[in-house]
Structure formats: C-alpha cells, structure tokens
Amino acid sequence: MQTAPHLAGNYAPVDKELTAYDLPVTGQIPPGLTGWYLRNGPNPHDAASGHWFFGDGMIHGVRIEGGRAVSYRNRWVRTSTFTDGAKVNDTEGNLDLTAGVANTHVVRHAGRTLALVESSYPYELTRELDTVGSYDFGGKLRTAMTAHPKTCPTTGELHFFGYSLTAPYLTYHQADATGELVISRPIDVPAATMNHDFNLSAGHVIFMGLPVVFDLEIARSGRGMPFSWNDGYGARLGVLRRDDPYGEVRWFPIDPCYVFHTLNAHDETGPDGRQQIVLHVMRYPELFRKNSTDSQQATLWRWTLDLTTGTVREQQLHDRAAEFPRIDDRLAGLDTRHGHATVTRTPAEGAPHGAVIRYDLRDGGVTSHEFGPGRTPGEAAFVPADNRPGGDGWLMTYVYDAASGTSDLVILDATDLTAPPVATIQLPVRVPYGFHGNWLADQPAEISLA
C-alpha cells in the first residue's frame, strides 16, 4: 500500500521524544540571545491520520544561551485526544473542547506558554515542554481558540476568536495583559466558515468572512477537511472598533478569495483625509473547490478599507508564491515597513527551491535568502536584536535537507537576506514540516538550564 503524501518524506512523523545537549554550530550564534525557539506541527503518534492538519501536535525546541545551542528537545502535546482518544463530539453529541491535537502554534501570554489549534482549547506547557493540561482562562472560555491570537504591543491585551460549526459561528474574545478573559461576544455571521486568522490594528479588529464553508457531506464521509469552496457565500471583511467591543460590526465586500494567514494591519489617514485600515495578507484566488485538481498558491496582497465609503481597494504586491508571513511582533497592529514570508515548495513540485522573502511594504522592494536545491525552510520567526521595534534582528527557521535527511535551525540576518546564514545549528533529529512557532526570550525570573 502506498504511503499517503502527508505521511511520507519530510511530512512523515518522528517516532521518539528526544533531549540532546551542546548542539554543533556552524557560524556564530548572536551572543545576546537567551531563550527558546519553539515550533509546533503535526506528528501523529500512531503514524496515521486522515489529513496533514489532523496529526498530534509536537513541539520542537532549541535552547540558546551565551552564543551556544545548549539543548534540543521535542515533545508531543498530551491532549485528551493523545492520552485517552477523546473526540470533540462524543456519541451523544456533547462538545469536549479539551479534545484536539494542539498542533498549529505555540505562543506566550501572561507568563503561560500555550500550544494552539483552532478546534479546541489551548494546552499549557512547562518551560521544559511538558504538558500541564488544557487551559480555559479560569473557566471563562466557552469556545475553541484560534491558533493565531494577536498581542497588542501597546496594551499587552491578547485578542482572539473562536469559530464553531454551530451557532454562534464566530465569537470574539479579549484577555488583558494579566491573562484575565474580559470580553467574549458573538459576531453575527450566516454560516460556519473556516476562520484561520484575523487582523488587528491599533483601533480595530477585522474578521474575514470568506467562502470556504462547512460541508456536511464531506464531514459525514470522513474524507478529510470538512470544508469546501462555496460560490454562493461571497467574501467580506468585518470591522469592529476596539473602543466599542460590543458595538456594530461593519462589513466590507471584497472579491472572493481565501486567506489562511495575515501579515499585519494598521490604521492610517488617506491622502484626502479619510480614515483607512490597511491589511497585508497572503491571498489565494480560491481554495478547497470540490473535484478540482488546480494547485492554488498564495501571494502578497494589500487591502485598503475606506471607512467613509465602505469600499476596499485590492492590490497584488508580489507574484512569487509564499506563505507563513511574519513581522516584528512588537509592531503588531501598527505601521511596519518590513514583512517576511517563506517559499516552501520544492523543485519536484514544479517551483523554485525553498527561500525566505523580505518585503519592503513601502517601496515595494523584495529580497530573499535562497536555500539551494533540496533545502526547504519552514516559517521564519523574527527575533529582535535591540529595543527598537522594526529595527535590526534575525530570522529563525528549521530547514530540512532532502539529501541528508536531516534538519538544521538556521539564523539569518533579517536586514541582509542575501548574506550567508549567521549560524546553522545541526539538530540530532529530522524536524518534519510543520506550522508556526516563536522565539520566546527568557523572562527575568527564569533560570538557565545550562
């Protein structure tokens, strides 16, 4: 029997948890870095799953201190699905939000490290990546939580949402800087759509109502993702003012498309004095159309919402297919000049080899780091070099080498992507393709593991 594509090659799971110390390094790790680079991704513990999106979450972490790669460890997130085989809906239809795979992202807020997937509660992890348990904000969270929350750099608030297959289909949440859940309100939408990400500016929360809609026929068949493209649903953006979180959501129509990931959003005054919201997103022309064999790719687009006219100007900014957009997170919701994205497709798939791209969102310039044949990077997280938001920094990403079957953690100079890597850390185990992660710098009270 042929192995399913999402279980073969570098999609194949690793079968062991491992801890290793004093990793070999080529180049020089920036000496001021102290913390963990963590990345989440699917790694089915029984080596089987019906879709890449459904594998059990595994965190891969590299500990860096004083110019050294101190350690590597990988750990499954032990959700109730992993330990007990729990399912989101039991035989009587009861919802269990602790059931899930926690395989999509790993973030930190109010001192807690959380592994996320959009279909369930987050799971809290220790500093050593052991699982504490599901986290529901002290019993206040009653929906699933998106894997893409946004932290406001000004207030420290965590903004997020949960979507559901039953009404209310979409709920907006906000937790304050201490981790207290202070706002939960339903957003009125007509159907269950796949809401993977959203947008945050200094003054607004912007939701995406896009035409990838829950499909009961697919769900009953068990053939994979229970969503499909729906020509009749349309596409629109919903704008909620942050200073009126229970107020009206204004909806702005856009051309049909799909967006998994947003780069950033900010408020600005247009040349005629009208107030605007500018969004940068990785846009697919369509996705998940039934019986389609077309391979759709995302490219960088700008949407400019005119809050006076209620219209949106849509503009493609670059034509190279890429995904996993990231910024300096200290500028989330603010006007940032630079963004980054990853080219992950391999030559065998009919695309150039892997690369990390740097966009200049003001003058349109684009530079890239090309990894060479057979070397495929994942998402590249921005690591600040100093206290100036938008200033110098590095990009960290796991890179798979097909020729050797191994993986490295590569550190690039974000301001000069054409230069060779600043450092390449050789890992003791292959890191399968995955989703999202972060550089988590040490808090002052943390103790070194060296």
Q: Which residues are annotated as a binding site for Fe cation?
A: 148, 196, 261, 436
The count of other CB atoms within 10 Å of the CB of residue 403 is 9
- Tallying the residues shown for the chain, one arrives at 450
Buried b (16+ CB within 10 A) or exposed e, 76-108: bbbbbbbeeeeebeeeeeeebbbbbbbbbbbbb
Measured CA to CA in angstroms, residue 134 lies from 10, 87, 117, 200, 412 at distances of 29, 14, 12, 26, 34
Q: In the block, which residue shows the tokens 């798939």?
A: 349
Cα 256 to Cα 185: distance, rounded to the nearest angstrom:
26
Residues 329, 331, 336, 340, Cα dihedral to 10°: 0
Q: Nearest 5°: phi and psi at 253?
A: -70, 145
Tell me the three-class secondary structure of 61-102, residue by residue: EEEEECCEEEEEEEEECCCHHHHHCCCCECCCCCECCCCCCC
* CA end-to-end span of the chain: 46
The count of other CB atoms within 10 Å of the CB of residue 196 is 19
Cα 38 to Cα 68: distance, rounded to the nearest angstrom:
16
Measured CA to CA in angstroms, residue 51 lies from 47, 138, 181, 224 at distances of 12, 32, 33, 6
Residue numbering of the annotated binding site: 148, 196, 261, 436
Measured CA to CA in angstroms, residue 328 lies from 103, 153, 259 at distances of 23, 11, 20
* Nearest CA among 270, 263, 128 for reference residue 206: 263
Measured CA to CA in angstroms, residue 200 lies from 148, 164, 235, 327 at distances of 11, 21, 19, 13
Query: Could you write out the DSSP letters of every residue in 113-159?
Result: EEEE-TTS--EEE-TTS-EEEE--TTTT--S---S--EE-TTT--EE
Measured CA to CA in angstroms, residue 209 lies from 141, 187, 246 at distances of 22, 11, 19
